[in-house]
Amino acid sequence: MNPADSSLIEMSVAGFLILSIFSFLYKDNPFYRLAEHIFAGLTAGYYVGLIYQTVIVQQLTIPIYREGKLELIFPALLGILMFTRFFDRFSYLSRISLAFVMGNTAGIFLIQQLHGLVLPQTQATIINPLAGSWLLGAVPGGMIIIAGVITTLIYFYFSKEHKGVLGKTARVGMVFIMISFGAHFGYTVMARLSLLIGQVKFVAFDWLPRLIGVN
């Protein structure tokens, strides 16, 4: 087969699936469900193959048989116990693996968040927050950060009813929280729009002109 024809076939399949997904904007239909099932199946198959190759083969089988790391038998047994959930009689054994995974993941995540977010943000707030130039906006920015941190912490202080000065300060903290949520939402929308623009560009300027023979 001509490489150009093969490339056109691949582009046509991609364009058809893109249009099938977009067809959901009109209503649910068989083309959308077909594309959805293909995407879900390919994703599941890809991740099963990826996990098998990167985890079972590279991190378990090879180290045990070639490097003699017999201590890896313990996590292998924990992984096998996860499959006991398919058998009602022995499903309780999977709780051992689940408890180990959840506890280990929670501990690692807590340390990552503490050292990656909490401590750096605390340090940036309390160390020289007003250093810099008024002209360049460093000092006003530092004051806004301090106000946002303090008022947000007060907003989550539930040991006392939010009335009077405490209530007004908490409402300021709520404003900072809404600004943060809005900024994150706007960033997410911008990212999704960039993906949408890329798909529309592919269909309108790459696939359709080539399909109908327009250079």
What is the predicted pLDDT for the residue at 143?
Answer: 81
CB neighbours of residue 154 within 10 Å: 20
Cβ proximity of 215 and 209 under 8 Å: yes
- pLDDT tens, position by position, 69-126: 888 999 899 999 999 999 988 899 999 999 998 998 899 999 998 888 888 888 877 7
Give the integer Cα–Cα distance in Å for 132 and 184.
27
Q: Spell out the SS3 assignment of the chain.
A: CCHHHHHHHHHHHHHHHHHHHHHHHCCCCHHHHHHHHHHHHHHHHHHHHHHHHHHHHHHHHHHHHHHCCHHHHHHHHHHHHHHHHHCCCCHHHHHHHHHHHHHHHHHHHHHHHHHHHHHHHHHHHHCCCCCCCCCCCHHHHHHHHHHHHHHHHHHCCCCCCCCHHHHHHHHHHHHHHHHHHHHHHHHHHHHHHHHHHHHHHHHHHHHHHHHCCCC
What is the predicted pLDDT for the residue at 53?
Answer: 94
Angle between helices 119-126 and 138-155 (to 10 degrees): 130
The one-digit pLDDT tens for each residue of the chain (215 residues) are: 566 667 888 999 999 999 999 999 999 999 999 999 999 999 999 999 999 999 999 999 999 988 888 889 998 999 999 999 999 888 999 999 999 989 988 999 999 988 888 888 888 777 766 665 555 555 677 788 888 988 998 999 888 888 898 999 999 999 999 999 999 999 999 999 999 999 999 999 989 888 887 55
What is the predicted pLDDT for the residue at 133?
Answer: 55
What is the predicted pLDDT for the residue at 5?
Answer: 67
Whether the model pTM is above 0.85 = no
Q: How many CA atoms lie within 13 A of 136 on its CB side?
A: 5
What is the predicted pLDDT for the residue at 69?
Answer: 87
